Chains A and B, each alone.
Chain A
Amino acid sequence: MANSQIEPGAPITLQELYPSSPFYKEAVSLRVTGMLRGYSNETALCVIEDGNKSLKINTQNLSDLSFKIGSIYQFIGELHIEPNNEAILQARTGRNVDGIDMNLYRKTIELLRQFLQVEDNSNMVE
């Protein structure tokens, strides 16, 4: 039952996370993917990178996940905007996705978004 109230983590690329983006909002549920660039055991914060964009991830709820710099990870969680306007994803789930085809991933989420947009528009006129 509770799951029906959990928002799905909308798949995005890190390039789409900028202050005026519709995804750049407090508590929005996102699914982000990128290469692990750094991890701190003390703070449980890690940084993932995709192209020239990076994002901090709070992994304090992910006790079972092991981190390897240079591997690709995917996280689902809620975005938190700090007072200095920096975004941190509070991860609910995380997994290693080494071997993922990032080009296919980017193209597919764009296609998926277009499909869902058409669906939502058609439902609005029902």
Chain B
Amino acid sequence: MSIYPLVLVDVGLMQECPLVLETKIKLEDPLGPLISHREARHGSIPPKHARQTQTVGTIISRDPTPKFLKFGVDDGTGCVTCVMWLNHLTSSYHSRRDPSTVLLLASAARNQAAEIRIGTVARVRGRLGLYRGVMQITASDVVVERDPNAEILHWLECLRLSRSSYRIQS
């Protein structure tokens, strides 16, 4: 059983992306050698080009801090740590953006963070990265799934993409 959950990426994004993100965090550079998910797992290859990811799973942990909410997602194949930043109004990262946009982002993040509860199933979209050598998703948005079949459909979509769109290592 893998450590990390299945991860989806939009096909449109894949076309823009120099790297192709596969299920189980396998990365492949069309211009270079294949990078195994084992290497990515151990942090030797930062998935810097895997810009946007999506996963669906059960929230298994919730660790709020003043600046961000850290939570764990289990999709049945793996667990991944996700971080949702909540410091839009004080972070210099957002200082150049339109204040009304920042207010909107801050409000949306707070509302979404309140919905993230242990036991709920959520669709997490965000940027895949490494923090201290461990894979992490910096969530841009989190949607709680009400459909009891959402995870099943996510699994089937991962399987479909693995066969039709992603290049599977052999």
Contact = CB atoms under 8 A, between A and B. Distances in A.
Nearest to B3: A4
Contact of A3 (B38, B72, B76, B117): B72
A50 B70 CA distance: 35
Interface in B76-128: 76-81, 117-121
A121 B32 CA distance: 23
Interface residues of B, number: 43
Contacts of B119: 62, 64-65, 93-95
B5 A111 contact: no
Interface stretch (B13-21, B46-54, B149-157): B149-157
Nearest to B24: A119
Interface on chain A toward B: helix, strand, loop, or mixed SS? Answer: mixed
Interface residues of A, number: 39
Given A2-B61, A8-B5, A108-B156, A97 B148 contact: yes
Contacts of A76: 58, 60, 74
A18 interface: no
B38 A123 contact: yes
A82 interface: no
A126 interface: yes
Given A62-B119, A105-B152, A8 B61 contact: no
B152 A108 contact: yes
Nearest to A3: B72
Contacts, number: 110
Given A94-B119, A123-B38, A1 B134 contact: yes
Interface in B1-50: 1-3, 5, 23-24, 36-38
A8 B72 contact: no
B61 A3 contact: yes
B58 A112 contact: no
B152 to A, nearest CB: 5
Contact of A11 (B72, B76, B162): B76
A93 B155 contact: no
A111 B157 CA distance: 12
Contacts of B120: 95
A112 B77 contact: yes
Contacts of B117: 64
B60 A92 contact: yes
B76 to A, nearest CB: 4
Contacts of A62: 119
A100 B117 CA distance: 20
7 contacts: A7-B1, A10-B76, A93-B119, A112-B76, A112-B77, A123-B37, A126-B38
